[in-house]
Amino acid sequence: MNCARIAVLVSGGGTNLQALIDAEKSGIIKNGKIELVISNKAGAYALERAAKAGIESAVVSKKELGSHEAFEDAIIKLLEDNKIDIIVLAGFMVILSERFTSRYPKRIINVHPSLIPSFCGEGFYGLRVHEAALAYGVKVTGATVHFVNEIPDGGEIIMQKAVAIKEDDTPESLQKRVMRLAEWKILPLAVEKVSLDIISK
């Protein structure tokens, strides 16, 4: 295998997808290639980022397909048709079932905007994670990249990076800093690490 074939699953703005696209261009990711972007939301800006980078994309809507099972089956078909090796969840706001995750052991990677095991699991996503960190009063937070298994945010940790909280932080300011200083750095590094591991097997 020359390069691990990567699919990125998104739901929103796609700044983490952009970090991966940029890392591939700059050579930080050299053993993997983003072949496909899948969004569960039709209007997601991440789809425009994919188009601008010339990456094939697809929208898979749970609402249109009628059930979670049919939704996951449609994603599995796309992954199989495209011979995908690594699935990256980059701001993908859907919890995948065990039926799905058990098909891809150590092949699904997620980025989460806290230092797991703090502020993670069901209900902790996006801005809510930073609201919870500020409400608790922690002085340090960060981001985690981990493998995905049947436990939400419970799979093996691949990489983490800490970010200091400032006195005047709002959830929005903290979210931006955690993205810039942690997520956009460790996600590409983790994807490169897993790509290399896969192609070396």
13 vs 171, which CB is nearer to ligand GAR? 13
169 interacts with ligand GAR by CB under 6 A = no
Residues in the interface with ligand GAR (CB under 6 A) total 16
Fill in the amino acid letter for 73: D
121 interacts with ligand GAR by CB under 6 A = no
Distance of closest approach, residue 175 Cβ to ligand GAR, in angstroms: 6
126 interacts with ligand GAR by CB under 6 A = yes
193 interacts with ligand GAR by CB under 6 A = no
Which residues 6+ apart lie within 8 Å of 119 measured at CB? Answer: 129, 132, 133, 136, 141
155 interacts with ligand GAR by CB under 6 A = no
CA atoms of 29 and 196, how far apart (whole Å)? 9
171 interacts with ligand GAR by CB under 6 A = no
24 burial (CB, 10 Å; 0-12 / 13-18 / 19+) is buried
Q: Find the distance separating the first CA and the last CA of the chain, reported in whole Å.
A: 9
149 interacts with ligand GAR by CB under 6 A = no
Placement of tokens 């940790």 in the chain: 157
Q: In the structure encoding, which two tokens stand for residue 141, read together? A: 């937070």
183 interacts with ligand GAR by CB under 6 A = yes
Placement of tokens 């983003």 in the chain: 34
58 burial (CB, 10 Å; 0-12 / 13-18 / 19+) is middle
87 vs 129, which CB is nearer to ligand GAR? 129
* Count of CB atoms situated within 10 Å of the CB of 85: 21
90 interacts with ligand GAR by CB under 6 A = yes
Binding residues among 2-31 for ligand GAR as defined by CB under 6 A: 10, 12-16
Q: Which H or E run includes 21?
A: helix 15-26
Distance of closest approach, residue 170 Cβ to ligand GAR, in angstroms: 15
Query: Binding ligand GAR by CB under 6 A: which of 5, 49, 112, 193?
Result: 112
Q: Determine whether 68 is an active site residue.
A: no
125 interacts with ligand GAR by CB under 6 A = yes
CA atoms of 59 and 97, how far apart (whole Å)? 19
Binding residues (CB under 6 A) for ligand GAR: these are 10, 12-16, 90-91, 111-113, 125-126, 129, 179, 183
Active site residues: 112
